[in-house]
Structure 1
């Protein structure tokens, strides 16, 4: 079926949550965003209803981007238009082209340039506000994986004050389970506050795409960009000026270049440095001029992140990163990649206690390991490191005496290539990059010795 129009129908601000109703032609879906320790009524009194509506408008806009997975002709945002700045359509298109490149590639939609934003009034300039107070606390995102743990540990070991922000979404299953798993990770660090946001989204819950659009590959959710806008409510409520996520340098590298799309396809684009700079500048120009968003792990490749993580073997049983079945399905690219990195850097018995399987010997994972090692058309569409990072990790596993079907492939098809300069690769991926990041200097100087 061809979708004509996605439309934001209503946006309601309740005391502790937002309710957004969307229309897709004759169908309707809702998204609810709950803030576990925020009173939106209080924020309206503190800042004004107009101010909070401005922030909520951007949440509604980017939560609605997931409906572009259906390739609509129009996205009607009239109901929130009065709160949006003239720069909004450009930002929307930039994020769409970056985040949805994989979706476009998989569905061969090379002639689709995105939904046209339509609205019933002019978008007007809005002067950015200021977060009140001078709170030096860093709000650190925590999804329960190795990166967010290490990012918080960096702040803690550097004696920098931080609060955690954990985020659940229907796309990952039951909210209670997600929060419980993240709580287990937070037991290993000491945030001054632990904030929770829960997203309940019936569009991703329902089998709409499978039944009405079975020819499409699935739903793409611009999770990182929209979570940044959703975090602004916490920034306002608690006077935080710094938002730090845990996105590594490896996220800047795409999976392949598509000549048909005329661009790189990067599953992790929303996490990368380009997206970080675009979103940070937009928020500073249009919403909060004393706000700073950055990734505290941007100076590091994943290869070094695994190495630094090995300082904390006690956290391993609490970590989770699988997007299929938490904590680990042991059958997907994310599980294979994380397992590889852990085996390369930890004592094997410590990793075995968590995974209990030798993933090198799983025939179902063999095509995935081939992709990770650069022996296929492109790397897996997952949040994993570069090809040479996987190769270095595999080499370390071999030196530890690990074996299996995937290791046989590595020895036969990669290690036999005598032109590979392993020392040069080690030097590239195991260093700290002191530029090419947006970490404020006062924070970077505080953490650099821990990196």
Structure 2
């Protein structure tokens, strides 16, 4: 089966949520975006003439990108094109290429670089300066170790922040996601709390697996589109700053392909994507709003090291994207477990996981990938190869055992040319360049990393 046209057919704005209706040729799908504590009708009265409709159009544009997973010839955005500018189409293509490189690689796609965008006429580029802004930072919380470390840093620097938690169909049942995230938020004191829930029947139903069984699955530009969806909260709350807990490790790809270039599962979290999105928002939407990854100055390794200052959160954080809180069978679980074992008392980690993942034969190929012994690292949000090696080395020094430990001893630790001190210095460092944190905020948190 091949797809000729995907299309955005309708945007419905209700009091507390958006309905986005799309078609994939003769099939139809809906994405619902709920803002639990907002009245969108009231927001329209406040900002309807200052870019709110254009923001809805951008959300719809990028939510539609997931349908590119079935490689359509065209994407019809005619009903919103007058609220978009040429720069929006350029950004769409840039995000598509960055996020979908993995999808191309997995499906052996060589020459497809996105659908032809169909539209009637485009609007003009216009950035609005919003008044009545405050200095409260809107901080995302997904429930993982990055989120809690970022918010703890803000608290230590006496920087007020509001939290927003976010659930998505791609991660399973919404109420469970929010319940787990709320367990993490009890360890900090946000001045306000917000919730977004996204229900997506394209992701929930077996459409792709039944009609496109040859494809590897669906790719969602979740991070970039969530930035645009978060701007709704920024308008409502008067926030100037949006902080996501993206770290320096996200800037490194999984592999470099001769035909595709760098393939990075985490591209949407990268500094490169951050710069693209920030520039676009400030140039074309709201000139005085800023988005940044607050952990960009440090690598994953240092984040785990920082996490040891808050041992009370260990039983409440979660990071698995397969079965929350932990499936204990995927690369993400293996990676987080390894680093927790490296930095915490193993008994405390065992109380959460109850299993030695080093000794799981199903995870041995995963450890080979994470340790850099195969063609590429796992397509997940993980640290660099040397970060994993450093963590496993710490586990060896603690006397931990298992099949993955034996693999590490035989194929990594036996290499006497590895500069372990240099590796440790790199990943324990704090880097004051290549981040978009506003200077006034960075100066307050620089000594908290």
Asked if these proteins are the same fold (TM beyond 0.5), I'd say yes
Tell me how far 1:51 sits from its aligned partner: 2.6
Residue aligning to 1:150: 149
Residue aligning to 2:91: 91
The Cα RMSD (Å) is 0.8
From 414, 417, 420, give the equivalent of 2:412: 414
CA contact (8 A) 1:131 1:235 kept: no
CA distance in 1, matches of 2:175, 2:23: 28
CA contact (8 A) 1:76 1:117 kept: yes
Q: What SS does the aligned partner of 1:317 have?
A: coil
CA distance in 1, matches of 2:425, 2:113: 40
Once the two structures are superposed, the pairs formed by residues 357-396 of structure 1 within 5 Å of their partners are: 357-396=355-394
Once the two structures are superposed, the pairs formed by residues 33-182 of structure 1 within 5 Å of their partners are: 33-48=33-48, 51-121=51-121, 123-182=122-181
Tell me how far 1:129 sits from its aligned partner: 1.2
Residue aligning to 1:305: 303
CA contact (8 A) 1:247 1:297 kept: yes
From 433, 447, 450, give the equivalent of 2:448: 450
Question: What are the Cα deviations for residues 73-102 of structure 1, in whole angstroms up to 9, with x where unaligned?
Answer: 000000111111121111000000000000
Residue aligning to 1:183: 182
What are the ranges of 5 or more consecutive residues in structure 1 without an aligned counterpart? none
CA contact (8 A) 2:7 2:77 kept: yes
CA distance in 2, matches of 1:273, 1:312: 27
CA distance in 2, matches of 1:77, 1:318: 42
Question: What are the Cα deviations for residues 21-53 of structure 1, in whole angstroms up to 9, with x where unaligned?
Answer: 001000000000000111111111111257321
Question: What are the Cα deviations for residues 262-305 of structure 1, in whole angstroms up to 9, with x where unaligned?
Answer: x1000000000000000000000000000111011000000100
Question: What are the Cα deviations for residues 389-439 of structure 1, in whole angstroms up to 9, with x where unaligned?
Answer: 000000111111111100001011000001100000011110100111111
CA contact (8 A) 1:131 1:241 kept: no
CA distance in 2, matches of 1:404, 1:324: 24
Aligned: 1:3 with 2:3: yes
CA distance in 1, matches of 2:80, 2:349: 49
CA contact (8 A) 1:85 1:124 kept: yes
CA distance in 1, matches of 2:86, 2:41: 28
CA distance in 2, matches of 1:93, 1:48: 28
CA distance in 2, matches of 1:367, 1:106: 17
Residue aligning to 2:341: 343
Residue aligning to 1:400: 398
Aligned: 1:213 with 2:212: yes
Residue aligning to 2:244: 245
Q: TM-score, normalised by structure 2?
A: 0.99
Question: What are the Cα deviations for residues 188-246 of structure 1, in whole angstroms up to 9, with x where unaligned?
Answer: 00001110000000000000001100000000000000000000100101110100000
Tell me how far 1:126 sits from its aligned partner: 3.2
Residue aligning to 1:317: 315
From 287, 302, 314, give the equivalent of 1:289: 287
Question: What are the Cα deviations for residues 366-396 of structure 1, in whole angstroms up to 9, with x where unaligned?
Answer: 0000100011111000000000000000011
Once the two structures are superposed, the pairs formed by residues 252-291 of structure 1 within 5 Å of their partners are: 252-261=251-260, 263-291=261-289
CA distance in 1, matches of 2:54, 2:364: 49
Question: What are the Cα deviations for residues 115-151 of structure 1, in whole angstroms up to 9, with x where unaligned?
Answer: 1111012x12132112321300000011000001111
Residues 134, 9 of structure 1: alpha-carbon distance in 2 compared, 3 angstrom cutoff: closer
CA distance in 2, matches of 1:285, 1:319: 36
Q: What SS does the aligned partner of 1:296 have?
A: strand
Q: What SS does the aligned partner of 1:29 have?
A: strand
CA contact (8 A) 1:132 1:236 kept: no
Q: What SS does the aligned partner of 1:112 have?
A: coil
| Number of residue-to-residue matches in the alignment | 449
Q: What SS does the aligned partner of 2:202 have?
A: helix
Residue aligning to 2:21: 21
What are the ranges of 5 or more consecutive residues in structure 2 without an aligned counterpart? none
CA distance in 2, matches of 1:142, 1:129: 28
Aligned: 1:437 with 2:435: yes
Q: Which 4+ residue blocks in structure 1 deviate beyond 3 angstroms?
A: none
